[in-house]
Amino acid sequence: MKFCTVKQYFDDENNNNVTNGIATTVIPLPNKHLKIKANNKEMEQYEQELLRNVMPQELTKLILAANYLNFKEALDFFCRTVANAIQNKSVDYVRKFFGLESDFEPGEEEKLCKEFAWSFEGVDED
Amino acid sequence: MFTTNEVLPEDLVIQILLWLPVVSLLRYKCVCKSWYALINGQNFINKHLLHNQTTLTRTRAQYFGIPNHVATNRVDSSNGLVCLHGNIYGIDIVLWNPATNETKVVPESRISPQGRVSTTDIGFGFDFKTNEYKVVKLLEIYDSNPELESWSKLFTIGPLMGIKKSLGFWKNESLFLINNDGQLLLYDSSTQEMTSLQVDGLPLQMITYVESLISFKGGDDLEEKGNS
């Protein structure tokens, strides 16, 4: 079932949604996944490898590709990888990562930060 | 630092946020107004809880300080909320979300049955039919004779050597045990493997806990009560 979309992708030459580089990372995943499905440790290692070789922004593209290909396991895997990469980052880092801007009133943001001041402890430097 | 040429649609952003721990999500409420509304929304809170309950995570030890050092002798957990039963400032029962650090004092019960009464136990759970959280107080009244009930045998585990006592089940297949040296072990009854968990201190009780964003609205915070 997953491979219907993949086949369609190869047939459709004008596909802008999935660039070649991404396809080479996403397509081999099913095989890898089947082999190491139950083994959490290997998945962790693969995740570390992925993070080293691929820029966080590229992960965004991988997520979009996995979503387009309707490939749930890959989507879950990439989302979790991104989450692990950003979970200890600052609010500013997250804004830049997702291309967002703060639309709070000047005083509002400070008030919010105070409410959960303890959650800002131990955050990675930018 | 980065130039974003791909902006993720909201449903994919949610997929990423579901994997984040509560402490990060509380912080990211400050990112922008739409994220604030999203993370605060009941819809996302429920999805996040469900995600935590159904995703396989590694067993790891996490230590929480019980708020205001409530002397606790009984603990129960449901949906990321923990119910503490103890006695401080004359307060009997406190609800607590360790992940968001919110507390709520449960008001005293006005029920007073006849006869000599002692509280034997407190239970806490979520009633799916009425969509409510319920705290149940079990009372022992010394006037009547308790009825005899029978226990049925469900299954046998073991035999296991050198075990002092069992603490509770984990995901219906594994059992937490304490051996004679006071160490915490996890026994998987399907594979019959015993794993030693490196945990300091002597565990008294085991409950299954997952993080959640669930918030208490209205009612008294434990801190406020302490000051009155």
Segment A63-106, tens digit of pLDDT? 887 888 787 877 888 888 889 888 899 999 999 888 899 999 88
* pLDDT for the residue B34: 93
- The question of ipTM being above 0.85 is answered as no
Structural tokens at position A66: 């996995």
* pLDDT for the residue A15: 42
- Choose among B221, B171, B212: nearest CA to B81: B212
* pLDDT for the residue A7: 47
Return the CATH number at A31. Answer: 3.30.710.10
Statement to judge: residues A97 and A72 lie in one domain: no
d(CA B116, CA B137): 15
pTM exceeding 0.95: no
By a Cβ cutoff of 8 Å, what residues of chain A touch chain B?
Answer: 40, 56-57, 60-61, 63-64, 67, 75-76, 79-80, 82-84, 86-88, 91, 94-104, 109, 112-113, 116, 118-120, 123, 126
| Chosen from A75, A116, A120 to mutate, greatest number of chain B CBs within 10 A | A116
Statement to judge: residues A57 and A11 lie in one domain: yes
Statement to judge: residues A110 and A77 lie in one domain: no
d(CA B50, CA B46): 6
Contacts with A85 from chain B: Cβ below 8 Å? none
Out of A4-13, A22-31, B99-108, give the one with best mean pLDDT: B99-108
Statement to judge: residues A98 and A82 lie in one domain: no
Residue of B nearest to A40 (CA): B58
Radius of gyration from C-alpha coordinates of chain A = 18
Find the range with the poorest average confidence among B34-48, B74-88, B162-176, B185-199: B162-176
- State which residues form the domain around A46: 1-87
pLDDT at B91 over 90: no
Which residues make Cβ contacts (< 8 Å) with residue B180, sequence separation at least 6?
Answer: B162, B163, B164
Give the number of domains in chain A. Answer: 2
